[in-house]
Amino acid sequence: MKILNIIKTLTLIDLLKGLKVTLKNFFKPKITVQYPEVKTPISNRFRGKLALMKYENGEERCIACKLCSAVCPANAISIDSEESEDGTRRTTRFDIDAFKCVYCGFCEEACPVDAIVETDIFEYHMTENHQRLQTKEMLLQLGDDYREKIVRKKEKDHHYK
Amino acid sequence: MSEPKITITIDDQEYKVNSGQMLIEATDQLGIHIPRFCYHEKLSIAANCRMCLVEVENSTNALPACATEVSEGMVVKTTSESAELAQQATMEFLLINHPLDCPICDQGGECELQDLAYSHGRNESRFEVKKRTLPDDNLGPLISTDMTRCILCTRCVRFGTEIAGLPELGTIGRGESSTISTFVEKTVDHELSGNMIDICPVGALNNKPYRYTDRTWELDQIESVSPHDCVGSNMFLHVKGDKIKRIVPKANPEINEVWISDRDRFAFDGIYSDDRLTVPMLRKNGVLEEATWEEAIDAFSKVLITLQNKKSKNGVAALISSSTALNEQYLYAYLMRSLGFNNIDHRIRQIDFTGDSLDPIFPNFDIKPHQIENMKSILIIGSDLRKETPLIAHWVKKAADQGASVNFINQEYSEYYFPIDNFILSGQEALAENLALVLKASNDDAVNKLPSHIEDVLNALPTPSLSHYQIAKSLANHEQSFLLSGLLCHSHSEYALIRSYLNLLSYVSNSSFGELTHGANATGAYLTGCIPHRKAFGESHELGLNALEMCTKNHQLIVLYGIEPEDCLYQEKLNQSIVGSQTTVQFSPFITPFMKENADIMFPLKTPYESKGAFINASGMIQDFNLQLDLAKDNPSNQELLLQIIEGSKLPMPSLDNLKEKIKKFIDETKNTHNRLLEIPEKVLKTTKNYSSVSSHLYDVDSITRRSRPLQQTKDALSQFSEDQ
C-alpha cells in the first residue's frame, strides 16, 4: 500500500486528474458576463424599482385608493390624498421608502388602475439617508423615462396573468 | 315590561323571544346575523331592500326578516339554500346599477354593500346593458353625494321624517328612474343631518370635509366627548398620525342614542385654523415676542407673587371657560384661591347675578337626557332648543311624537318639527311675567300650595290667559312633567327671578327641573370652585367679583383661561377691561389680532380634542374623554402647565388623586338633596331691568366652532352673519 502511494505521489496522477477538469472547462462556452459592461438578460417578471405610470394623455393613473399601502408587508408606501380641482381623487404625497421596500410586487397586483408598476431597474444607489424616500415626482418621472420599456415588459407578460 | 315569551326555532335551535317584535330584532338580540340594508334599529321598517329574506317554514316564498313578526312555533332558516338563493338574487339586482368605484369611494372598507357583496355577490356581472347614472345634488358644505351609488334603501329619507322631523330628502320618480333628492334644489340644513352619513349603508351620502382624504383602515378610533354643549354626546375621534380626520358618533342610549349633532361632528376643523398659537408669547419692550415655556411661566409666576405680596386681592380678575376639563378647572381655581384672589368666574354669558346666594351646588338637571323621552308634559322656557342643544331637542321631539304635551315660553319663535301645544311668545321683558302667570295658574288648584307671601306677589299680577291655564293644567295632570330652562334664560337679565319661579313651579306642579348651561363642563366649574362665591365642593367662601363686575372694571391683572373676548356676552366691556388693565394673561389655543395687541403673556392651550380629561354634563354624569390620546406632543399638557405655574408661584402642590372619584361621590350625595328654595328674595324681585336682546347661534358657541370652515359655510352660520351685518 505504501509503495502504491509513493508511486501516485511521484507521478502526480491526482494533479493531472484535476488539471483534466480545468482543461475541459477551459474550452467550454462561458456563462459569466463582464458586468457592468455586459448584462445578463432579465425576466419580464423581474421586480425592481417602483414607478408610477400615467395615461397616454398625460393624466396620472393613481386614484389614491391606498390599496398598495394597505397591502404592503413592509409599510414602505405612505400616501396622502385629497379632492383635486377637477373633483377627482388624487394623491398629494406618494412616498416609497426604498430601504423598507422588499420588492414583493404586492402593490402592483393590488393596484386597480395599473398605476404602480415594478420596473427592471435594480442598480441604483444613494449617498444620503434622506434620499431613500422616493417622492411622487420621482416615481412619475421614472415612469415617464422608462415608459416604453415598461409597457413592452408588461405586454409580454400579460398573457400569463 | 315583560312581554310573554314565545318559542321560535332559528337554524335548528330553539330560542325564547319576546312576542310582538320583528324577526330581525330577535335575531339581532340573539347574535344571529341576517344581512340587511334598509333596516335600521332607530328607524321605521320599510322592507324595500329585500336583503334580509329568510326561509320560514309553511311559507311559499322567502320572507323579509325585518317585516315578519315572530310567532309561536315559527321555524326559520337563515342560511338554508332557498334563503341564500334569495339573498344572492337580491344582491345581484342591487349590484346591477351600483358602480364599481370602491377604490375611490370613501365608504370603501366600512361599506355594508361591499361586505355583503363579498359574502353574497356573484363573481361577475351578467348585466350587459348600460348602467344607470345619476347627477349629484349639492346638499351643502357638510354632506357629499354620489347618487349613482345609491341603492334606494330610503334610510336617509326616513331619518329626515322620523328623527330630524324635517323631510329634507325624498324619493322622486318610479322604478328605474327613482332617485333620492331634495324636492326642489336646496341644501340639507337640519342640525342633525350629518347622521345621514352614518346611516347610509353605501357611499351615496358621505362626509364632505373628509372626502377623498383617508381610508377607514388607516384611522385609529378614540373615545371622546363633545366639548361644545352641556349634553356630553359620546363620539369617536378618528385619528391618523397626530391629526383628527373625522368624528363619528358613539352610541350611548342615555345621552345621545346613536346620533351626534353637526356641531359635534364638524367643529374639530377649527383646531387646524391658521391662527393657532403654538409657542408662549411674552411682551418685551412693548412687543409681543415668542418666548420659551420657562420664561413665560417665570414671568407669570412673578406677577402673581408680586400681587399676592401687595395683598391686592381685588386687583386680579380670573375668568375661565366652562368648556375646560375638570382637572384644569380645579387647578386654576386652586391657583387663584391659594394666592388669595377671589375674583374667579366662568359665567361669561350670564348677566344677572342677583341670585348667586340661592345657587344650587351645581346647576339642577334632575333627570338624564334619555328620560326626557318618557315625560308626558314638558315646559321649555327661554330656549332656542334646536340650536342650543340639538340632542336635547331630539329627546323632546321623541317625547312629543309619543304624545307628550310640549309647551314653550320664549322670546323668539323658531321652527320645531314636532307638535307644540302652546307657544307663548313674549318679549324679553315679559318672559318672567309669563312664567309667573303659569305659576299663578298652577297654584290655583295645586296640592302643594305656595306660602302666602309668595301668593301675595302673584296676586299682584294680571289674570293668566287660557294658554297659561292650559300649560299649568298639563303640568299638574301628568306625573311625568319636566321644566327645561334654556340658554336664553341663562343670559336673561332676570335670570335669578326666572329661576326662582321655576323652582316654585317645579314644587307646585311636582315636576322635574332641568337647566341647560353654557359650555361642556359648567357643572364641573361649579363643583371645582370656578365661581366667585363658592370654593370647590360647594364650600362657601368670601365673595369675589362676578364675571360682569370683573368686565366692567380695570385690574392690575386679568387672566383669561380658554376664553376669547368673543365668547363673552359683554365682549365690548371685556375688551375695555383688557385694554385698561395693567397686565393681561391669556391661555388660549388661538391668537387673535386684538389679543396680540393687548396681551402681555400668552400660553398656548391644547383644545379638548387634543388632550385628555373629564367633563361633567348638565345631568351630572362624569365622562372621561380621549384617554388614549395625546396630540400636539411637543407642548406640555394644560394640566402640566398649570402645575408648573403653581410650582413657580411657590404654592404647595395640590393632589389630583381621586379628584374625579371624589366629585362623583359628591354629586351622588348632593344630587337628590337639592333644596328647592320656596322663596323669592327681595333683592331678586327688585332687579333693575336692562333688557338686551340675546340669541343663540348654533355655530358661534366657542373659539373652535367659530373657526370650523365647514360649519361656517352652512346656512345657519351664513344667516347669522347677515343678521350681524
Q: Is B277 exposed, middle or buried (0-12, 13-18, 19+ CB in 10 A)?
A: buried
Distance from CA of B242 to the nearest CA of A (A): 14
* Amino acid present at B217: W
Q: Looking at B66, B97, B128, which one is the last position of a domain? A: B97
Q: What is the pLDDT, as a whole number, of residue B675?
A: 59
The three grid cell numbers given for residue B401, joined into one nine-digit string:
311624537
Inter-chain touch B104–A65, beta carbons under 8 Å = yes
Segments in B509-611 forming alpha helices (H): 522-528, 547-551, 571-580, 593-598
Selection from B232, B248, B236, B149 nearest residue B195 by Cα: B248
Inter-chain touch B103–A65, beta carbons under 8 Å = yes
| Residue pair B109/B118 in contact by the 8 Å Cβ criterion | no
Q: Does the pLDDT value for residue B725 go beyond 60?
A: no
Instruction: Show the domain range for A71.
Output: 50-160
Cα torsion for A58, A59, A61, A65, to the nearest 10°? 160
Q: What is the pLDDT, as a whole number, of residue B627?
A: 78
Q: Does the pLDDT value for residue B704 go beyond 80?
A: yes
Chain B residues interacting with chain A (CB cutoff of 8 angstroms): 103-104, 108, 211-215, 217-218
Does residue B605 fall inside a structural domain? yes
Chain B residues within 8 A of A82 when measuring between CB atoms = 212-213
Query: What is the torsional sign of CA A101, A104, A108, A109?
Result: negative
Q: What is the distance between the alpha carbons of residues B717 and B216, in angstroms, rounded to a whole number?
A: 30
Distance from CA of A83 to the nearest CA of B (A): 6
Does residue B719 fall inside a structural domain? no
Mention every residue, 6+ apart, whose C-beta is less than 8 A from residue B56: B62, B63, B68, B74, B75, B76, B77
Q: What is the pLDDT, as a whole number, of residue B2?
A: 59
CATH code, domain with B50: 3.10.20.740
Element (H, E) at B7: strand B5-10
The highest-confidence range among A32-46, B122-136, B265-279, by mean pLDDT, is: B265-279
Does residue A108 fall inside a structural domain? yes
pLDDT bin (cut points 50, 70, 90) of residue B689 is low
- Report the chain B residue with the minimal C-alpha distance to residue A63: B104
Q: What is the distance between the alpha carbons of residues B7 and B16, in angstroms, rounded to a whole number?
A: 5
Selection from B22, B1, B17, B31 nearest residue B72 by Cα: B17
Inter-chain touch A83–B212, beta carbons under 8 Å = yes
The string of DSSP letters for B465-495 reads: -HHHHHHHHHHHH-SSEEEEE-HHHHTSTTH
Domain tally for chain A?
1
Does residue A91 fall inside a structural domain? yes
Distance from CA of B101 to the nearest CA of A (A): 10
Distance from CA of A63 to the nearest CA of B (A): 7
Q: Are residues B438 and B475 in the same domain?
A: yes
Q: What is the distance between the alpha carbons of residues B109 and B689, in angstroms, rounded to a whole number?
A: 59
CATH code, domain with B464: 3.40.228.10
Distance from CA of B603 to the nearest CA of A (A): 32
Chain B residues within 8 A of A81 when measuring between CB atoms = 212-214
Give me the interface pTM, i.e. the ipTM: 0.83
% of chain B with per-residue pLDDT over 70:
96
% of chain B with per-residue pLDDT over 90:
68
The three grid cell numbers given for residue A115, joined into one nine-digit string:
398605476
Chain A residues within 8 A of B108 when measuring between CB atoms = 65
Q: What is the pLDDT, as a whole number, of residue B677?
A: 67
Chain A residues within 8 A of B240 when measuring between CB atoms = none
| Average pLDDT of the residues of chain B | 90
Instruction: Show the domain range for B485.
Output: 369-516
Q: Are residues B526 and B461 in the same domain?
A: no
Does residue B442 fall inside a structural domain? yes
Chain A residues within 8 A of B212 when measuring between CB atoms = 64, 81-83, 89-90
Inter-chain touch A70–B217, beta carbons under 8 Å = yes
Q: What is the pLDDT, as a whole number, of residue B563?
A: 93
Residue tagged 408680586 (cell numbers): B306
Q: Looking at B500, B516, B532, which one is the last position of a domain? A: B516
Distance from CA of B103 to the nearest CA of A (A): 5
Helix B638-648 / helix B326-338 crossing angle, nearest 10 deg? 10
pLDDT bin (cut points 50, 70, 90) of residue B453 is confident
Average pLDDT over residues B387-402: 94
Inter-chain touch A70–B212, beta carbons under 8 Å = no
Inter-chain touch B213–A82, beta carbons under 8 Å = yes
CATH code, domain with A86: 3.30.70.3270
- Report the chain B residue with the minimal C-alpha distance to residue A80: B213
Q: What is the distance between the alpha carbons of residues B270 and B289, in angstroms, rounded to a whole number?
A: 24
Q: What is the distance between the alpha carbons of residues B12 and B604, in angstroms, rounded to a whole number?
A: 63
Q: What is the distance between the alpha carbons of residues B370 and B391, in angstroms, rounded to a whole number?
A: 10
Q: What is the distance between the alpha carbons of residues B72 and B6, in angstroms, rounded to a whole number?
A: 5
Chain B residues within 8 A of A63 when measuring between CB atoms = 103-104
- Tell how far CA B30 is from the center of its chain: 32
| Residue pair B610/B582 in contact by the 8 Å Cβ criterion | no
Which residues of chain A fall short of a pLDDT of 50?
A: none
Inter-chain touch A81–B217, beta carbons under 8 Å = no
Distance from CA of B96 to the nearest CA of A (A): 20
Q: Are residues B18 and B54 in the same domain?
A: yes
Mention every residue, 6+ apart, whose C-beta is less than 8 A from residue B466: none
Does residue A42 fall inside a structural domain? no
Chain B interface test: which of A60, A83, A116 (most B C-beta within 10 Å): A83
Q: Are residues B509 and B541 in the same domain?
A: no
- DSSP category for residue B164: I
Q: Are residues B457 and B575 in the same domain?
A: no
